[in-house]
Amino acid sequence: MTGRLELVGLRLEAAGRVLVDDVALCLQPGKVLALVGASGSGKSLTTLALLGLLPPGVQRTGGRIILDGIEQDTAGLAALRGRTVGLVQQSPRSSFNPVVTIERHFRETLALAGLRRGAARTRALELLAEVGFDHPAEIVGRYPFQLSGGMLQRVMIALALALDPRFLLADEPTTDLDTVLQAQVLDLLGRLRARRGLGVLLVTHDLSVVARLADHVAVMAGGRIVEQAAVGELFQRPRQPVTRALLEAHLALCQGEPSELAA
């Protein structure tokens, strides 16, 4: 797998106020880039900007989004969704239609690839098996409210992979899960990255997640990237006060936790 997805000089505004300014990121095949920072730092808006999915009132007033060296216009960004870039949102329960079966969710997504009826069902079962369901045929007939949060998160990941994207944007994918389920989801993302060669943008405020999965880290504060480094370098030699504060908070929370989470 070749090529990369780049964000250069992103600037977002709402009602005359700058929310994100001069943000640059680069996603590479087979690599996990973690975008970390406190709530409100601009992480989720930056992620949505990569797909042209900004909320009402927020505008991109600067910056370029470049895929394989080609700058993407509005139509180009729309064409990326699902096919080139998959999105895993932070609240799986609110991302599903509660009165539509899991199979119907897959059918609607897979129709974009021309798969219908039996072919769509077969593909849905394959995807559900890939994300760890031992009996996927039991899952497709259920409604979202019949699944746990961890199960829904795996279904959402399967849906994000349905059109075989090259990149995956995972926005706080473990926020609503307990520690055991968090570890399972992160292990799953790691396996998918290795198996599919995915380039992953992992958005999180949790440095335990970063330590477990990321190759490279970008630290965001006040709508700007304040530091970027390889994960080992950032943990051992943080340069910015914001980064040091995040690490101190992480280490304080991880006292008494398994050593790999505090590493």
Q: 198 and 248 in one domain?
A: yes
| Residue 153 is assigned to a structural domain of this protein | yes
Q: Is 6 left (phi over 0), alpha (psi -120 to 50) or beta?
A: beta
| Residue 230 is assigned to a structural domain of this protein | yes
Three-state DSSP class for residue 169:
strand
The average pLDDT across 24-41 equals: 94
| Residue 147 is assigned to a structural domain of this protein | yes
Q: 175 and 198 in one domain?
A: yes
**Would you state the pLDDT for residue 255?**
64
| Residue 8 is assigned to a structural domain of this protein | no
Q: 170 and 75 in one domain?
A: yes
Q: 197 and 79 in one domain?
A: yes
Banded model confidence at residue 175, pLDDT cuts 50, 70, 90: confident
**Would you state the pLDDT for residue 2?**
57
Q: 107 and 225 in one domain?
A: no
Tens digits of residue pLDDT in 75-112: 999 999 999 999 998 878 888 999 999 999 999 999 99
Range of the domain at 130: 96-164
Please say if the pLDDT value at position 262 is more than 80.
no
Phi and psi at 203, nearest 5°, equal -95, 125
| Residue 179 is assigned to a structural domain of this protein | yes
Tens digits of residue pLDDT in 16-30: 999 999 999 999 999
| Residue 225 is assigned to a structural domain of this protein | yes
Residue where a domain stops, chosen among 146, 164, 182: 164
Residue where a domain stops, chosen among 164, 198, 219: 164
**Would you state the pLDDT for residue 252?**
76
Burial of 18 (0-12, 13-18, 19+ CB in 10 A): middle
Q: Could you tell me the CATH number of the domain that includes residue 224?
A: 3.40.50.300
Q: Which residues contact 47 (CB under 8 A, 6 or more apart)?
A: 35, 87, 169, 171, 201, 203
Q: 213 and 191 in one domain?
A: yes
| Residue 16 is assigned to a structural domain of this protein | no
Q: 113 and 227 in one domain?
A: no
Share of the chain above pLDDT 70, in %: 95
Q: 219 and 110 in one domain?
A: no
Across the chain, which distance is largest between two alpha carbons, in Å?
56
Q: 171 and 159 in one domain?
A: no
Q: 125 and 114 in one domain?
A: yes
Three-state DSSP class for residue 163:
coil
Q: 111 and 123 in one domain?
A: yes
Distance CA 14, CA 1 (A): 37
Q: Which residues contact 216 (CB under 8 A, 6 or more apart)?
A: 31, 32, 33, 34, 228, 229, 230, 231
When the pLDDT of each residue in the chain is averaged and rounded to a whole number, the result is 91
Q: How far is CA 250 from CA 71, 124, 175, 246, in A?
A: 37, 38, 15, 6
Q: What is the pTM of this model?
A: 0.91
Phi and psi at 22, nearest 5°, equal 55, 45
Three-state DSSP class for residue 130:
helix
Nearest to 24 by CA among 12, 38, 10, 5: 10
**Would you state the pLDDT for residue 97?**
93
Q: Which residues contact 3 (CB under 8 A, 6 or more apart)?
A: 29, 67, 68, 69, 166
Burial of 2 (0-12, 13-18, 19+ CB in 10 A): exposed
The average pLDDT across 213-230 equals: 96
| Residue 58 is assigned to a structural domain of this protein | no
